[in-house]
Structure 1
Amino acid sequence: MMESKLSFSNPRKVDILLATYNGERYLAEQIESLLKQTHPDIHLLIRDDASIDNTPLIIESFLSKFPDRITFFQARERQGVKANFSQLMQASTSSYLMFSDQDDVWKPNKVEKSLSCMIAMENKYGELPLLVHSDLTVVDESLNLLDPSFWHYTYLKSPHSSSLNKLLTQNVVTGCTIMINRLMNELARPIPHEAFMHDWWLALIASAFGQIGVIHEATLYYRQHSTNTLGAQKFFNFCNIKKKLHKWRQADEKKFQQAFIFFHRYQQLLSLSQQKILKDFLMLAHLSWMERKKTIYRHGFFKQGWVRNLADFFLG
């Protein structure tokens, strides 16, 4: 099902991609925050991933009120969040795209600030795939403050770190803060099944072939609740240690799968030095403990924070 028509418009138009699934509890509040953005030329592309709650009805109620500002796609069967966003990227016709979760609340000037940073980057770098991201304010289910900075909350010391060797190891870009330009959209899609998540995939592409810009302030309220797909968790939390140890090697496997598909899709575009970095990263899974450590140090395959790196040292 699709309502409203897509068309190319002025170069300052921003498409906001909203992927939904069983999001009835917080969805209306989020859509309201998107429609109240100070930037005047936005369009919401919403794709529901076969929800079984009232999510489609909530979307249709907004669509009836704002038919010129919303396009709604209804999936017949669930495909997952990565495929959901990938389909929305394919549907977008705008020069700029932003990614929205269904349970956050955007600050009114989020689009305006992101676009301002993007335009400054375009003026500096020219025709390149570009990505902009920002910090987030972490809140609970009722929007009560947990931490004014997601980066502080999750011990991300250098969110501006955008080198390929670092991003292969750890993602520092949060999807719901991202704006990309059309060149990034065309290069990144479709998002493969092997990608860890859409934001990590986009960050890798921007690092390898374009530029990443950072807004050093929070542009949205990042809601923490029991049904988050990937929520903010304090890394150094003793209550989480057992879970994290259990997931550590699973995450490593996913990172290697992501790097493998990234290398083979973009091999012809990668520089020789980038190819070397990726090949050596992929070899980590097959090296002895000592050779693995040597390769990590040689290429700087480090995460942010001594706790993460110490855990990698003993577990990897």
Structure 2
Amino acid sequence: MILSKGSEIVPISIAMCTYNGAKYIDEQLETILAQDYPLHEIIVVDDRSSDHTFKILEDWQGKYPSLFKLYLNEENLGFDKNFEKAISLCSGDLIAIADQDDVWMKDKLSSLVELFADQHVTLAHGASITLKNGNLHHFSGQLKRYKLFEGSDSRKLFLLNQLSGHNIMFRKSILQQAIPIPDFMPYDWWLALNATTLGEIKAVKRYLVHHRKHGDNAFFSKKRIKNPLTLLSRLLLFKQIQNLSSESRLFLDEFIAHAQQHEQAPTSKIDWHFFKFLINHSKIIFGHKKRLFPAFTFLTNSIKFAK
């Protein structure tokens, strides 16, 4: 039972995936261990690193044998499937995602866990700011560019993923519905959508993570395999999610119909039927973006996706 602030300690599992992360992993683990909220366990799944990442992890486990639980994959699973495995191994009531190369603020966990005093909250997230070459890029900070997603309106997540895994904490109970994660589906997107159907999402509107950007990062790497899922194939996967509200399901059916027609339309021209759908629902689809002239943003994004 998750109670109000100041009551019992809620068990929080940290789910971390590693792959050739030797350069930065010590610093990240130091910031996790320095949290001002007690840790239940740190689950780390290594995806067949070719550097000495796993040896570093074994050294940390030697220092904290009751805290660290290490797993080495028999074969490389890839970014999203490896995180699916890691969160499946967690035993805490709440699960927080950790990238291998970020820097956490000391109060990240304590700030997020407070939101779960509300029993309707299924997932909470904070904001991150880019750390590149050791320097913070404040213009890149999420709070400057986006309104952090809150609520339970699944429709807002059908076109664009608005939550980043390294910022989220969620109830383990949502995994009963969210696992397995479809192939090639970003795990954080899938978890967020499922969370909206089981309760609501809340946000801490502060920077809780310095998110490191570099060439070896699994997300930013130029060697990253392009996701083969098209808009239509993603929407069809979303249709499989249980407990979607009737409003969201009707919206999704209409979205799918337009996406099917759009895939058959000439790529050199604007699909005006799809454009009309996007512009009519632009506040839902693009409303998370902060712009001085929202109407212009709605227009340009509707054109972009209708091409």
Interval containing the TM-score (normalised by the shorter chain): 0.7 to 0.9
Of the three residues 192, 198, 202, the one matched with 2:182 is 192
Structure 1: distance between partners of 2:127 and 2:220: 14
- Aligned-partner Cα distance in 2 for 1:258–1:218: 30
* Paired position in structure 2 for 1:215: 204
Letter in 2 for 1:89: I
With the length of structure 2 as denominator, give the TM-score of the two structures: 0.83
1:295 and 2:277 are equivalent in the alignment: yes
Who is 2:258 aligned against?
284
Runs of 4+ that moved beyond 6 A: none
Which position in structure 2 is the counterpart of 1:136? 128
Question: 1:311 deviation in Å?
Answer: 4.1
Taking only aligned residues, the RMSD between alpha carbons, in angstroms, comes to: 2.6
Count residues in correspondence. 280
Summarize the Cα distance change of 1:148–1:61 in structure 2 as closer, same or farther, 3 Å threshold: farther
Q: How does 1:108-257 map to 2 (within 5 A)?
A: 108-119=106-117, 121-122=118-119, 125=120, 130-142=122-134, 144-147=135-138, 150-152=141-143, 155-156=145-146, 158-160=147-149, 162=151, 163-195=153-185, 197-231=186-220, 253-257=229-233
Give the TM-score, by structure 1 length. Answer: 0.80
Q: Where do 1:57-68 residues align within 5 Å? A: 57-68=55-66
- In structure 1, C-alpha distance between the alignment counterparts of 2:305 and 2:227, rounded to whole Å: 12
SS in 2 for 1:171: coil
C-alpha distance 262-209 of structure 1, shift in aligned 2 (>3 A):
same
Give the CA deviation at 1:161. 5.1
2:85 is the alignment partner of 1:87? yes
What secondary structure sits across from 1:83 in the alignment? helix
Q: What amino acid maps onto 1:284 in structure 2?
A: H
Q: Is residue 256–residue 282 contact of structure 1 (8 Å, CA) maintained in 2?
A: yes
The DSSP-based 3-state class of the residue aligned with 1:135 is strand
1:287 aligned counterpart, secondary structure: helix
What displacement does 1:286 show?
A: 2.5
Instruction: Extract unaligned runs of 5+ from structure 2.
Output: 1-7, 263-270
Percent of residue pairs bearing the same amino acid type: 24
Query: CA, structure 1 residues 132+103, in 2 after alignment: closer, same or farther (shift >3 Å)?
Result: same
Residue 251 to residue 66, structure 1, CA distance change in 2 (3 Å): closer
Is contact 1:166–1:302 with CA below 8 Å preserved after alignment?
yes
Give the whole-Å Cα distance in 1 for the aligned partners of 2:303 and 2:228.
Answer: 13
For residues 314 and 181 of structure 1, what CA distance do their matches in structure 2 show? 36
